Amino acid sequence: MQINSNPLSLFDFIGNQERTDEVLENLAERSKKDVVSGLHAFEAGLNLNEFEETLKQIENGEISVDLPTIENYFSFNQNKLESALSSLQRNFDLEPPLEVTVEDGGLQVLEHEDKDRIQQYLDRDESLNKLITQTSKLSQFVEWAQAKEQAATFKEEGMSESELVDFLKSARTVVTETNRLYVSNEASLFDSEEQTKGLIDKYTVKKEVVN
């Protein structure tokens, strides 16, 4: 007797609505578990500051997190950061603009009349330090995810492989380079924000000129 070990698909249950519904429910439940598992792994990577490892897992497909989810995380953190920075400005009576570099080794306040005082505060306030670092990386994750989505669009539109590689190489630097936080009277902004949009515009123009 031959045993067929291939997994059953929906085609095996055509005409059997009850079994079809059961398969669909199982698939939906498995998909839901994958998403939840991906979110937990993503959050854990952020909380442990394991950004490079988390990015590698996302790119390898080990963590399932889509662009809208990362954008929501970034937006949520950004709102918290705006509130925290407003409090900082009030408490220290700070005069903007303020610039802070965000590196793996920590935060570094750039030239400011209260530079030493602000630096000491950021070094002591672990919560704010972590919030700035996380939000910075989320901004970079968003830019890279947008770049990968756009690369798929460029490919569908017939962009050459060499141009696609150049585009992705340029976009990838947004994740690896040092980020910078700018704080003004109006809002806070990371250097990484809108970088992908600028690249997309640049390569779109190049493509139109070639065509």
0.85 surpassed by pTM = no
Answer whether 175's CB lies under 8 Å from 146's CB: no
9 backbone dihedrals φ, ψ, rounded to 5°: -120, 180
pLDDT digits (tens, 9 = 90+) for 43-83: 777 777 777 787 777 777 777 778 888 898 899 999 999 99
Spatial separation of the C-alpha atoms in residues 141 and 127, rounded to whole Å: 21
The predicted-structure confidence for 92-151, as pLDDT tens digits, reads as follows 888 889 999 998 768 999 988 999 999 999 999 999 998 999 899 899 989 988 998 999
Q: List residues bridging with 188 in a β-sheet.
A: 183
CB atoms within 10 A of CB 130: 13
List the chain domain ranges.
1-65, 70-210
* CB count in 10 Å sphere of residue 157: 10
Q: Which pLDDT band holds residue 18 (cuts at 50, 70, 90)?
A: low
**Cβ neighbours of 165 (radius 10 Å):** 11
Over residues 150-161, the mean pLDDT reads 90
